[in-house]
Amino acid sequence: MGTRASERPAEQGLKADTLRLLHLTFVGLAYFSLAPVIYFNMGLMESEAGGPVMPLLFILITIAVLPTAVSFAIMNNRRPSAGSAYTWLWESTYPIIGLWLGWILTTTYFLVVSLYPPIFGLFFNSLLDTLGITPGFATGLLGGFILIVAVAIMTHNDIRVGSNVIGVLMIFEAGFIVILAAIIIIQGGELGRFTAAPFDPGAAANGLAGIATASIFAFLSIAGVDSIAPLAEESNTPKRLVPFATIFITLIAGLYWTLTSYGFAISVPVSEVERFVEAGQVTPVLPIAERYIGAWNILVPITALTAVAASFGASIFAASRILYALARDGFAPRTFARLHPKYRTPWNAELAVLVVSAILLVVVTLWQDREVASSGAWIAQAFVFFVLIPYIFVNLANIVYHARHRRSDFNWFTNGVLPVLGMGICGYILWYAFFNTLLGGDFKTQSSIVWFALAWAALGAIWVATHAVRRDLRGISLHAEV
């Protein structure tokens, strides 16, 4: 049986009262990947919708994710924990469900972390190409390993220092996008100055069906409402601060994308965006930037690199904390529950995350015919399954927790209507953007992702069953509330 919280010396825990709102904002917004969302999603969103309606889509996805964000905020208020969904489902429903969510959530964060080295390698190659150096498979891997080593140094420190560095990197990339969008708007773009077309559903040639499809894929841009939940035990007044920060960063990210995407929506016709994508451009923003700011478009791959580094660091914080939570409760090797003697951060768990990201960088890139772009796409699509499962279950926890443990506080809207709506939205996206989209595709690049996700989820159920056989899960008390 795992050690009860009351038996653990207080000094062995994560360093409490460390993070303030600014730190959580930096980490949360970096996890949302402000610039990469514009860089990578512009082509997909405009081609699916058949029109320059990115701002409208970002408004829709922000509204769509809010029910789930509210459920995360509420559960963070009720039970702040580094284990987040793992802890909430364990205590709200049954331990076996919570433990399985721990498996799924750990996989989610490990996939997020592993997504960034190949993306960094992709933009590293783009930068080399811009500088006249011929890139390839080896340089792509080199770029990924440079990221891993650099961020390892950044995270092996006080978490406040790491979050501040993340904030500086994020402000640099986000600021460049704002300036570029402003330049395009001032120059009037090619679709006409101050046109309302980007907010008009009628501007989408593919109609409401196209908008719906584009919105589904765009929703995944804002799948970061869970990002700061694992940092609750290190936050100042977590029951107040983490719920507020969860809603705050969600709204800020949605507002940022809505406003900045307007500039890119009017920059060039959709047909040109599609042509850039078909030509193999790493992002349509690169040739668009060249048109408006000339040689300064070199800042596109540079800011992409800094943005990826910021997102990578934020993801490592989340992944290491959930692994730490499982380890301290006896469901992962105890070494991952050990803390840095000076900073009281889970450095062993962070190191494990970094090692896994390095392994997947090589393995998945080789699997995808030595293409770092395809490697990143494979991992990103696998992430869809593993992030939406916890989202559905956290909405469920919101309902069950209040029905079982806080019935006097049950609110029909925030603990009833909103989580049901959140489960419905996430369930539909899981079906459409994951199963329906990938199952009929090529095995190597698409359907293999579905079979991997299902097999890994089943393996997690077996892992839970082995723990249930060996230990009385109902008799285990998880780490005490903060």
pLDDT of residue 211 exceeding 90, the answer is no
Q: What is the mean pLDDT of residues 400-429?
A: 94
The CB-side HSE value for 130 (13 A sphere, CA atoms) comes to 20
pLDDT of residue 10 exceeding 80, the answer is no
Q: How much of the chain, in percent, has pLDDT values that exceed 90?
A: 74
Give every CB contact of residue 252 below 8 A, 6+ residues apart in sequence.
25, 29
The dihedral formed by the CA atoms of 266, 271, 277 and 280, expressed in degrees to the nearest 10: -120
Whole-number pLDDT of residue 456 = 98
Give every CB contact of residue 200 below 8 A, 6+ residues apart in sequence.
53, 56
Q: What is the mean pLDDT of residues 1-11?
A: 40
- pLDDT tens, residue by residue, 107-135: 999 999 999 999 999 999 988 988 899 99
Q: Are 319 and 325 in contact (CB under 8 A)?
A: no
Whole-number pLDDT of residue 394 = 98
Instruction: Dihedral sign for Cα 14, 20, 25, 30, please.
Output: negative
Beta strands in 191-256 (DSSP E): none
Higher pLDDT, 205 or 326: 326
- How far apart are alpha carbons 231 and 19 in whole angstroms? 8
- pLDDT tens, residue by residue, 231-252: 999 999 999 999 999 999 999 9
pLDDT of residue 9 exceeding 60, the answer is no
Whole-number pLDDT of residue 154 = 87
Question: How many residues are there in the chain?
Answer: 482
Q: Are 321 and 85 in contact (CB under 8 A)?
A: no
- pLDDT tens, residue by residue, 247-271: 999 999 999 999 999 999 999 888 8
Q: What is the mean pLDDT of residues 351-364?
A: 97
Q: How far is CA 407 from CA 370, 395, 402, 403, 415, in A?
A: 55, 16, 5, 5, 10
Written as one string, the DSSP assignment of 262-315 is HHHHTTS-HHHHHHHHHTT-S-THHHHHHHHHGGGGGHHHHHHHHHHHHHHHHH
